[in-house]
A and B are shown apart, each in its own frame.
Chain A
Amino acid sequence: MSDQDDDIILAELNDEDLVAQMFDDLYDGLKEEIEDGVNILLGRDWTPYRVLTEALVGGMTIVGNDFRDGILFVPEVLMAANAMKGGMKILKPLLIATGAPRVGKMVIGTVKGDIHDIGKNLVSMMMEGAGFEVVDLGINNAVDAYIEALIEEEADILGMSALLTTTMPYMKVVIDTLIEKGMRDDYIVLVGGAPLNEEFGKAIGADAYCRDAAVAVETAKEWVARKHNQMAASA
């Protein structure tokens, strides 16, 4: 798509142009370029947290929006997430070492009886793309598996996914158990999957139904911010 004359050297771009270029490179799923970009910004004394939020999360937000709007589809998102992952691998130890603020932590898995995980995997990738930590429990999770992980991981968010109309009612079992144990208010509960809808999410007592991975990210950000505000208000 570009002419030979347009070739550029990432290291020669100023910060603003480099970040803009990284947005493009994420969009195009160019992993090596993203890794280089991250290293260059770190070399310019950007904090790891700033690289994450301004360069990577910023770029993935564009990918997420275009996915939500039906402009990009799964293959392009997978490529972008893969590029993001390359950058995250460099940043992760540095984020921990510098005590960077946590965006949030999500425990996610498909519910008991459901072995369909493409949608759940997409949500995991996009959540990581948005800077969240994701603990992926995989497929076919009974209520105990969710609850143990939520406690052990000190998670903020529970994500449940189901592709089958026959497995989606199990989400209510998990939520009801959280209520029984008096834990429901400790977590943001998001649900998703092809046969679900908002009405269903409300009916079973989830905080929100997320139509796709991009919406899941937006919703998670919104609810985490709301929770922080509440905590600040009650402090």
Chain B
Amino acid sequence: MSDALSKMLASRDWLLADGATGTALFNMGLQSGDAPELWNVEQPDQIHALYKGAVDAGSDLFLTNSFGGTAARMKLHNAQHRVFELNKAAAEIGREVADTAGRDVIVAGSVGPTGEIMAPMGALTHEIAVEMFHEQAEGLKAGGADVLWVETISAAEEYKAAAEAAALAGMPWCGTMSFDTAGRTMMGLTSAAMAAMVEKLDHAPLAYGANCGVGASDLLRTVLGFRASGSERPVIAKGNAGIPKYVDGHIHYDGTPDLMARYAVLARDCGATIIGGCCGTTPEHLTQMRRALEDTPRGTAPNLEQIAAELGGFSSGVDGTEEGGGGPVRERRGRRRATV
């Protein structure tokens, strides 16, 4: 493998990813409701500063400002015809920052969910999803992204569509899902089910994992679930800096840099290789996470009690990976009507 992330993974036993994009942009004055992706061409200096913030804090890898860069999302801002342009710009600025960092830094082209529900439940077909992800991937590739970074996905179908798009673009990729509903994704996928799904893909990701979700403890439980599946594929942990709180008209994440530093060390102990933050994670958090990862020797994997003691309790008692937690079970009448 010759891509930059594979090389870095081969030579290092952990990597620090970046933190929040949205949180940082809103602090820079992005108005809620505006498309962050438009800033790639309207406010390139701010995007430059966003990326540089992560790199200066010690990130080995950062995500481009292209999370909502599919046609499905851009359409809500009437910019669906600008997908290629905006994604290319996001990656180009990233390339600039990475190439002047003075060390190896990976530009990961962020690809977020379409926000639509896939067929048969919803209206989005597999073919159209692949097409939309592919269009975005080509833009990111043209701008110089090293790897595609699919994130915050809930449905296995959507993850698979993104994999296919990455193959069409001839790009290596990574993909994380958000486990925010009773330890599963919104669509009910468990960590074990995701790990199994990933191994069955034709164009498998370089690394897979979890991002966002509800708190650091839940995220680490999910990482333990991945590792228990037996897959040796590198695992990504990108959790939020705590829980959002409403203070004096503003939103504030309650995860301190110190808590995120402990989370980072525990994530590595749980078996994660690429470790970063998500919403609420600032360069200040990243700096402390880097320092903690460098200064703390790797330990054995913690159990759930130890995670709860260090980082706080879980949002749900179980996450679907426990015995008998496979799927919806209901005592039913066991009869079906005759199909005439």
Please report A residues at the B interface, Cβ cutoff 8 Å.
1-2, 6-10, 20-21, 24, 27, 33, 62, 66, 70-76, 78-79, 112-118, 139-140, 164-170, 172, 194-195, 197, 199-200, 203-204
Contact B335 A166 (CB under 8 A): no
**Smallest CB–CB gap between B323 and chain A, Å?**
15
Which residues of B are found within 8 Å of A164, using beta-carbon distances? 22, 32
How many A-B contacts at CB < 8 Å in the complex? 114
Which A-chain residue is minimally distant from B30 (CB atoms)? A166
Contact A7 B332 (CB under 8 A): no
Bound CA span A75–B318, Å: 20
Contact B337 A9 (CB under 8 A): yes
5 cross-chain pairs, A with B, having the tightest CB-CB distances, nearest first: A113-B33, A73-B188, A70-B182, A7-B338, A165-B251
- Count residues of B near A (Cβ-Cβ below 8 Å): 43
The answer to whether the Cβ of B49 comes within 8 Å of any Cβ in the partner chain is no
Which residues of A are found within 8 Å of B243, using beta-carbon distances? 197
Partner of B246, one of A21, A24, A140, A203: A203
Partner of B335, one of A2, A168, A195, A203: A2
**Given A74-B186, A75-B121: A166 in contact with B334 (beta carbons within 8 A):** no
Q: Which of A62, A79, A166, A169 gathers most chain B CB within 10 Å? A: A166
- Residues of chain B from 204 to 247 with CB closer than 8 A to chain A in the complex: 243-246
Contact A115 B115 (CB under 8 A): yes
**Smallest CB–CB gap between B335 and chain A, Å?**
5
Q: Which of A21, A24, A70 gathers most chain B CB within 10 Å? A: A70
**Smallest CB–CB gap between A77 and chain B, Å?**
9
Partner of A168, one of B188, B246, B328, B338: B246
Please report B residues at the A interface, Cβ cutoff 8 Å.
22-23, 26, 31-34, 73, 76, 115, 117, 121-122, 154, 180-184, 186-188, 243-246, 249-251, 279, 316, 318, 328-330, 332-339
Contact B33 A140 (CB under 8 A): yes
**Smallest CB–CB gap between A87 and chain B, Å?**
15
Which residues of B are found within 8 Å of A117, using beta-carbon distances? 115
Contact B328 A71 (CB under 8 A): yes
**Given A70-B181, A75-B188: A7 in contact with B328 (beta carbons within 8 A):** no
Q: Give me 11 other A-B pairs in contact (C-beta within 8 A), A8-B338, A166-B22, A199-B245 excluded.
A: A6-B335, A7-B338, A7-B339, A9-B338, A66-B328, A71-B329, A73-B186, A74-B186, A113-B33, A167-B32, A197-B243
Bound CA span A230–B22, Å: 44
**Smallest CB–CB gap between B50 and chain A, Å?**
15
Partner of B337, one of A33, A66, A166: A33
Partner of A24, one of B22, B184, B332: B332
Bound CA span A204–B329, Å: 39
Which residues of B are found within 8 Å of A27, using beta-carbon distances? 330, 332
